[in-house]
Amino acid sequence: MSSTAFVGQRVKRLEDPDLLTGKGQFLDDLKLPGMLEAAFVRSPFAHATFTEIDAAEARSMPGVIAVLTAKDLPPKMTGKRILLQVPHPQITYAVTQEPLATSEVCFVGEAVAVVIAESRHLAEDAAERVIVDWEPLPAASHCDAALKPGAPVTHACMTDNVAGRLSLGFGDVEAAFRNAAHVIEARYEPHRGTGHPMECRGVVAVYDLVSDAFRIWSSTQTPHNTQRAVIDMFGMAEDHVRVITPDVGGGFGPKNQVYPEELVIPAAARLLGRPVKWAEDRREHFLTTTQERDQVWDVSAAVDQDGVLLGVRGTLIHDAGAYLPWGIIMPYISATTLPGPYKLPAYRMAVTVAFTNLVPTTPLRGAGRPQAVFAMERLMDAVAQKLGLDPAEVRRRNFIQASDMPYDMGLTYRDGAPVMYDTGDYPEAQAQALSKAGYDDFPARQKAALAEGRHIGIGIGNYVEGTGLGPFEGATLRILTNGRVAIYTGAAAAGQAHRTTLAQICADELNIDVTDIDVVGGDTGVMPRGAGTYASRITVNAGSSVRIASVELRGKALALAAAKFDVKPEDVELTHGAVRIKGEQGDSVTFEELAKMTSGMPGYALPKGVKPDLEASGYFTPPQATYSNGSHVAEVEVDAETGQVKILKYTVVHDCGTVINPMLVDGQVQGGVAHGIGNALLERMVFDEDANPLTTTFADYLMPTAEIVPNCDIVHMESPTPLNPLGAKGAGEGGTIPAPAAIVAAVENALTPFGVRITDCPITPQRIVELISAAQDTTQEDR
Amino acid sequence: MIIENTLNLSLAPDDAWRTLLNIPYVAPCLPGTKLTAVVDERTYEGMVDLKLGPVSLSFRGTAVIEDVDPEAMKVRVSAKGREDRGRGSAHATVTFQLHPSGGGTRVEVATDLNLAGSIIQYARGAGVVTRTAQQLVDQFAKRLSTRIDSGEEPDPEAIKVGSLLWRGLTARLKGGKQDVPDA
Amino acid sequence: MPDALPKRTITLTVNGKEHSAETEDRYSLADFLRHGLGLTGTHLGCEHGVCGACTVLVDGQAVRGCLMLAVQAEGRQVVTIEGLANEDGTLSPLQAAFMDNHGLQCGFCTPGILTTLTAYLRDHPNAGEPELREALSGNICRCTGYDTIVRAALAAARTIREGAKA
Amino acid sequence: MKPAPFTYHRAETLAEAAEMAATLDNARLLSGGQSLMAMMNLRYVAVDHLIDLNPVAEIAGIAIDGGRVTLGAMTRQRAVLEDAALAACCPILREALGFVGHVQTRNRGTVGGSLAHLDPAAELPGLAALLEAEITLTGKDGARTLAMADFPQGYMTPDINPGEILTSLAFDLWPDGHGWDFREFAQRHGDFAMAGVGSLIALDAGGRIGRAAVVLIGVGDGPLRLRDVEDILTGEAPSDALFAAAAAMAAARPMSGDALVTETYRQHLSGVLVRRSLARACARATEAAHA
């Protein structure tokens, strides 16, 4: 039986002491003897072909060891592309990047050569002297235009830009619309942004000729994916490729896929016989690290006279960018997320995934969900406007009730299991959020503000999020001969405090302190199988594995001690780092002694019939996703003259099941909201008509700062899931998902006197002024 | 980006036609341009220097007369250049269409310019780049008609375009210096 | 480009200790600290002066380590995150407040935030939340959403004020 | 993102700096470095020689003398922001400097560097235009002084000849009791302004506007003095209608557009900011008159 000295507590982080004193070891901090540094030669064109790369001058530059093009890579890599992460039968052209492009580049920043030199400075000097005979081709610069007849094609071998089509839904949609009292139609367009962890990507590779083995450090969320891709590319045995994540300075999704550099740098290390490092700089990050969010939703809702949903149908265009490293999973997530917390009798969504000559898109904090929630919540607001109802009331009339759980949506999720909401109380979540936000008083406050010439508004964003995806994550626990307990897991952390969370779960089971536990994660050498840190899945998967393994290890420790004392296992108990015979002044044996007994050390005899096994492994395989939910309420003030938006108050009710560490969950939520604020108001990757990226510095691409992001009022509801032993659900992305919907709704609400409708995000001051101006022109025309 | 201009030349169409095909005569009219080599009668190498505020750029490249149609009085020149430090690439297709106009010639110049590279990946500067390209082509038209009309050679030195957006040849070429301190 | 890469030896004090080391003229102070002296606690997040991760103290003032050359630090007193702890190695009030208030997640922006706040709280021990938020506006954090950083700074300010009274 | 190689030269005196500037090829002066180093890191700018003015103490400092202020080129932006005497006699400086970057960049950034860089959205060139400052440039063979109005010659192109060093900025103070306002619009603190405005107002004995100066930044190639607006203000009593007329006039001129901000929005913003700025500057002047 476990106690809960740690689980559920605001336990301080084990990660902090090193990070607060500069002792963290991030990728670019690694320095190996003889290490060289790399700089890539990248395409300036969004779409071009080339035949010759002239590197003669570059090769003669000071400190340059090599300039490698696709032709110079090992023969095994010839003609190969990066392993596709998630295959799907509906993909028309399953194309991923080549390690180095051989003849065609499809986005600005695609690499065609790499310079290896004694320092990054010298490598960059030479990279600018590599001359490529580019022949530019027309480029597709936006997903909507890319699907129009005659649009430039992203890949010269294709005749159009369709990367895949999906259609999903349930119920009799035609009947729903036939019988509707009202039909609301709209086009919603969330725009492309990016993850921007403060640490960019990076790779260090060492090749050991004696054992024909790679050791690769990568700033990645998924070391096992990198390992699989390297194995695939080089045709090596898996125990010859070890991928390690050092401290990772943030991920947010884009570090959850395999990049060309993770293959080219190992190839260079092998060719040159020296360690090679590539540390991505921010400009490269803007050009080459995956992005997300451009979608075009044309949706209609059919409702009855009371605003109760009868059906939703529409089309979704999803911008894939130039390649499909993640297949077409994101628009799939979008389409299955749209119904959200609402009872929807009929639903049909036709999805088209469009190639564009832009950086590929992959899951970014929220992964297709913020857009779907934006579309659905904006639609609910539009229903409210059409029927003259309060937006909260429309939602109340449509909620799935707690008593409906488990609720079968009627869709199949990305993991192949039905979309089956497990637990949650959606009406209560909204009710608590409204109460905390002072929603009932708001009309009076709004009226008073308006009398002073101030435009304030309030908006709601509700969501349900599939989290904790499988297939599995594993953990191995071992009691070490120094008496400490080690947890080995495949999960790689990027700021989420896995060490602390996993130690909390283990400490309660083994009745030790979290500081007695060492957590080693993100290393394929210590954990041969793993999926990775994405889809808000680590606490659910790795946490449950730790729980399972802890229970087993606890049993083994008790059994071993009982054997030593020659008593029954039920007669011994765990105390702090030891096992003792129950009762007063019973004999006890420390973990250290137990570990030494089983380590084969001379002088420590093993009791009869006991195996030298103070180790346990657990692999948790969830039966399906577990569904977190929440309600956000944003209150904003808009300067109707300048268009400036200030967030006055932000309320979050968040339900991620059992909370392991409320301090950490608060941190995930607050940080997630900040990202959502960026998506709502600030962050947009802008490209010109030739698909050149224009926002390539932090001066043009605006990240939320301390003066923009308010303190969120966070309320935790806990609806434990029966789907895992912890009762936990994912918490990493829920802060972001509904924020654009809530904030944009609040802005629109503030601008009620002008009759403005907002259908895209981020909503910039300029756009607000344009919308007000357009609305006023329309009003005048009406007169 | 497509930039269109019209030149009104005093030359008769036949003379104007011959003049326009004389690349060594025409090229220096593009501000900051120096012809460095004649590869063959249709292929020329040269460099274009220009200054975008504090950023000095030097493009080297090739211009090829691709399509000459004396019947239609139409010629197409394609040019491509690479910035010396790899900060950008410029590909341009320039079409000259001649029309008789009074005793002289009206030349319609259509430039399809494709710029790429770090120099244009800058949202705040996007307006300046477009304006600069436009002014460069405008100046080309103006200087060409001046040269034809007056025989005057274009000034190879600092070229003042509009509000000095362009300073023509870089200081390096002149053996000069740029002493601009910075914030 | 010059024929040989210009370099020179510079002498400066970092975290109270004098160092003499060679650097290329073009190395930023941040690159020199990281690669020349092995003090990798100072991080480079954007190298164009916006994100603030590289902030270090030069003669007590917070500056961008990516926008100052190493050669310009000749003879200066530089403090990095490695030099913020108390002399006995325990965490400074600010560092301790970051741990207590969950003021960091991935920890990559943290060095620049700690150095910025160290100088700011020294000069403005009575700073309130709006001033602190403005002082932090030149440091980007993607993980935390800033609230816990502001709480930590306010808590540290209290400790510092109490320490000054004692 | 590492700069291309260059040779660093540390100038200890102005004479030394001028000598270096006159003799080194493809050289550039380094003052605060808060824009130049970023452009060099991005490799937008590559030079063979960098002449560091930071040690040159003789061109740093703030002097207030007989109604005239002189700011040495190497005066840090933070020093201007925090100077109490300057804030007392020319309060718009402190208000405007608060918009310049962030604490870390103001600790290094200088007055002269900002002027010479001449970013269209920069506050210091705008203030110099507003205050009708004179700029002194010093070369090996002597110094010349020119009016700020003649200094910008185009987009980020100041009138500085090869070998010249911007050494100081000087302007006459406005009379005691003048009104002032500086404001700008950006989505975040410290960003390049999409538009900004500075206003100075002196009232006459009858409470009418005796003298007005208004400048816009961030809307064109350089700071834009609004002489026509100043003309319609002068001689009038402050009123909302007057401010609205001034705003409409300000918004009517051509402005720059870019990939993020359209010309139309800049014009609109300029009008709003000018109206608000004039109202506040006049209110301050009125308040001072009644004090």
Q: What is the predicted ipTM?
A: 0.94
Distance (Å, whole) CA B143 – CA B96: 16
- The answer to whether the Cβ–Cβ distance between D187 and A697 falls below 8 Å is no
Confidence at B178, pLDDT banded by 50, 70, 90: very low
pLDDT at position A473: 84
Residues A632/A650, Cβ–Cβ less than 8 Å: yes
Provide the residue type at A489 as one letter. Answer: T
The distance of Cα A668 from the centroid of its chain, to the nearest Å, equals 12
For the cut 70, the answer to whether the pLDDT of residue A455 exceeds it is yes
For the cut 80, the answer to whether the pLDDT of residue A20 exceeds it is yes
- The answer to whether the Cβ–Cβ distance between D103 and C135 falls below 8 Å is yes
Distance (Å, whole) CA D99 – CA C40: 32
pLDDT at position C163: 84
D119: left (phi over 0), alpha (psi -120 to 50) or beta: beta
Question: Tokens standing for D121?
Answer: 């959205």
Ramachandran angles phi, psi of B34, nearest 5°: -130, 130
Report the SS3 class of residue B44. Answer: strand
Kindly list the structural domains of chain C, giving each domain's residue range(s) and its CATH number in brackets, ordered by start.
Answer: 7-83 (3.10.20.30), 93-165 (1.10.150.120)
Distance (Å, whole) CA C57 – CA C48: 18
pLDDT at position A444: 97
D52-78 average pLDDT score: 97
Rounded to 10°, the helix A498-510/A544-565 angle is 30
Measuring CA to CA, which residue among A100, A97, A36, A52 is closest to residue A74?
A100
A678-700 average pLDDT score: 96
Query: Whose structure tokens read 């080219």?
Result: A264
- The domain made up of A400-467+624-783 is a member of CATH 3.30.365.10: yes
A502-520 average pLDDT score: 94
The CATH number of D179-290 is which of 3.30.950.10, 3.90.1150.10, 3.30.300.30, 3.30.390.50? 3.30.390.50
Confidence at B159, pLDDT banded by 50, 70, 90: very low
pLDDT at position A781: 56
Question: Tokens standing for C10?
Answer: 């510079």
Query: Whose structure tokens read 């077409």?
Result: A328
Count of Cβ atoms closer than 10 Å to residue A722 Cβ: 12
> In whole numbers, what is the pLDDT of chain A averaged over residues?
94
Residues A91/A255, Cβ–Cβ less than 8 Å: no
For the cut 80, the answer to whether the pLDDT of residue B155 exceeds it is no
pLDDT at position A230: 96
Question: Residues of CATH 3.30.465.10 domain(s) within chain D?
Answer: 57-172
Report the SS3 class of residue D210. Answer: strand
Measuring CA to CA, which residue among B172, B170, B65, B50 is closest to residue B115?
B50
Confidence at B160, pLDDT banded by 50, 70, 90: very low
Measuring CA to CA, which residue among A95, A582, A510 is closest to residue A325?
A95
Lowest-confidence segment of A169-173, A265-269, A619-623, C36-40 by average pLDDT: A619-623
- The answer to whether the Cβ–Cβ distance between C26 and D188 falls below 8 Å is no
Using a 10 angstrom Cβ sphere, with 0-12 exposed, 13-18 middle and 19 or more buried, the burial of residue B10 is: middle
Residues near C85 by Cβ (< 8 Å), separated by ≥ 6? A21, C91, C92, C95
Residues making up chain C, counted from first to last: 166
> How does DSSP assign A159-174, residue by residue?
SS-EEEEEEEEES-HH
- The answer to whether the Cβ–Cβ distance between D43 and A124 falls below 8 Å is yes
Nearest neighbour of C63 by CB, restricted to D3, D4, D104: D104
- The answer to whether the Cβ–Cβ distance between C1 and D102 falls below 8 Å is no
For the cut 70, the answer to whether the pLDDT of residue B164 exceeds it is no
Chains that touch C (3 or more CB pairs under 8 A): A, D
For the cut 70, the answer to whether the pLDDT of residue A518 exceeds it is yes
For the cut 70, the answer to whether the pLDDT of residue A4 exceeds it is no
- The answer to whether the Cβ–Cβ distance between D2 and C31 falls below 8 Å is yes
Report the SS3 class of residue C88. Answer: coil
pLDDT digit string (tens) for D4-46?
Answer: 999 999 999 999 999 999 999 999 999 999 999 999 999 999 9
Which is it for strands D49-52 and D7-10: parallel, antiparallel or unpaired? parallel
For the cut 90, the answer to whether the pLDDT of residue A664 exceeds it is yes
Query: Distance of CA B153 to CAs A528, B11, C96, Å?
Result: 74, 17, 73
Confidence at C166, pLDDT banded by 50, 70, 90: low
Residues making up chain A, counted from first to last: 783
Domain definitions of chain A by residue range: 400-467+624-783, 470-620
According to CATH, the topology of domain D7-52 is 3.30.43
The distance of Cα D265 from the centroid of its chain, to the nearest Å, equals 23
Nearest neighbour of C106 by CB, restricted to A250, A698, A711: A250
A452 touches chain C (CB under 8 A): no
Question: Tokens standing for D221?
Answer: 């190639």
Name the residue in chain B with its Cα closest to that of D122. B183
pLDDT at position A416: 81
pLDDT digit string (tens) for A582-626?
Answer: 987 788 999 999 998 888 877 777 777 778 889 999 888 888 999
pLDDT at position A780: 61
Looking at residue A440, the DSSP 8-state letter turns out to be: T
pLDDT at position B95: 93
pTM (two decimals): 0.94
Please, which residues 68-107 of chain D have a Cβ atom closer than 8 Å to chain C?
A: 78, 101-105, 107
D65-88 average pLDDT score: 97
A650 touches chain C (CB under 8 A): no
For the cut 60, the answer to whether the pLDDT of residue D250 exceeds it is yes
pLDDT digit string (tens) for C99-158?
Answer: 999 999 999 999 999 999 999 999 999 999 999 999 999 999 999 999 999 999 999 999
For A231-303, list the strands marked E by DSSP: 241-244, 276-279, 291-292, 295-303
- The answer to whether the Cβ–Cβ distance between B116 and A45 falls below 8 Å is yes
Half-sphere exposure in the Cβ direction for C9 (13 Å, CA): 4
Confidence at A252, pLDDT banded by 50, 70, 90: very high
Ramachandran angles phi, psi of D12, nearest 5°: -90, -30
A641-665 average pLDDT score: 95
B60 touches chain A (CB under 8 A): no
The CATH number of A470-620 is which of 4.10.410.60, 2.30.30.90, 1.20.120.1200, 3.30.365.10? 3.30.365.10
Residues A307/A397, Cβ–Cβ less than 8 Å: yes
Residues near B126 by Cβ (< 8 Å), separated by ≥ 6? A688, A694, B120, D258, D259
Question: Residues of CATH 3.30.43.10 domain(s) within chain D?
Answer: 7-52
Q: Could you name the CATH architecture of B2-171? A: 2-Layer Sandwich (3.30)
pLDDT at position B172: 27
Distance (Å, whole) CA A186 – CA A176: 17
Provide the residue type at C40 as one letter. Answer: T
Q: Which of D104, D114, D191 to mutate to test the interface with C (most CBs of C within 10 A)?
A: D104
Chain pair A-B, CB pairs under 8 angstroms? 51
What is the C-alpha R_g of chain A?
Answer: 28
pLDDT at position B156: 55
For the cut 60, the answer to whether the pLDDT of residue A84 exceeds it is yes
For the cut 90, the answer to whether the pLDDT of residue A407 exceeds it is yes
pLDDT at position B10: 86
Distance (Å, whole) CA D47 – CA D3: 9
Rounded to 10°, the helix A223-234/A261-272 angle is 60
Helix H or strand E encompassing B144: helix B126-150
Name the residue in chain A with its Cα closest to that of D42. A283
A448-475 average pLDDT score: 93
Confidence at D286, pLDDT banded by 50, 70, 90: very high
Residues near A452 by Cβ (< 8 Å), separated by ≥ 6? none
Which is it for strands A295-303 and D62-65: parallel, antiparallel or unpaired? unpaired
Residues D170/D71, Cβ–Cβ less than 8 Å: yes
- The answer to whether the Cβ–Cβ distance between C138 and D103 falls below 8 Å is yes
Confidence at B145, pLDDT banded by 50, 70, 90: confident
For the cut 80, the answer to whether the pLDDT of residue B182 exceeds it is no
Looking at residue B21, the DSSP 8-state letter turns out to be: T
B87-99 average pLDDT score: 91
- The answer to whether the Cβ–Cβ distance between A705 and D268 falls below 8 Å is no
pLDDT at position A782: 52
A767-779 average pLDDT score: 91
**A675 to chain C: which residues are within 8 Å by CB?**
142, 145
Strand partners, A215: A206, A242
As a whole-number percent, the residues of chain A with pLDDT over 90 amount to 84
For the cut 50, the answer to whether the pLDDT of residue B8 exceeds it is yes
pLDDT at position B27: 86
pLDDT at position B78: 92
CA distance A133 to chain B (A): 9
Residues B82/B62, Cβ–Cβ less than 8 Å: no
According to CATH, the topology of domain D57-172 is 3.30.465
> In whole numbers, what is the pLDDT of chain D averaged over residues?
96
Nearest neighbour of D42 by CB, restricted to C6, C48, C55: C48
D44 touches chain C (CB under 8 A): no
Name the residue in chain B with its Cα closest to that of A127. B86
Residues near A79 by Cβ (< 8 Å), separated by ≥ 6? none
pLDDT digit string (tens) for D143-153?
Answer: 999 999 999 99
Using a 10 angstrom Cβ sphere, with 0-12 exposed, 13-18 middle and 19 or more buried, the burial of residue A445 is: middle
Which is it for strands D134-139 and D68-72: parallel, antiparallel or unpaired? unpaired
CA distance A389 to chain C (A): 34
Order of strands across the sheet with B74-83? B2-9, B104-116, B89-101, B74-83, B55-69, B43-52, B33-40
Buried b (16+ CB within 10 A) or exposed e, A491-517: bbbbbbbbbbbbbbbbbbbbbbebebb
Distance (Å, whole) CA D153 – CA D135: 14
> In whole numbers, what is the pLDDT of chain B averaged over residues?
79
Report the SS3 class of residue A515. Answer: helix
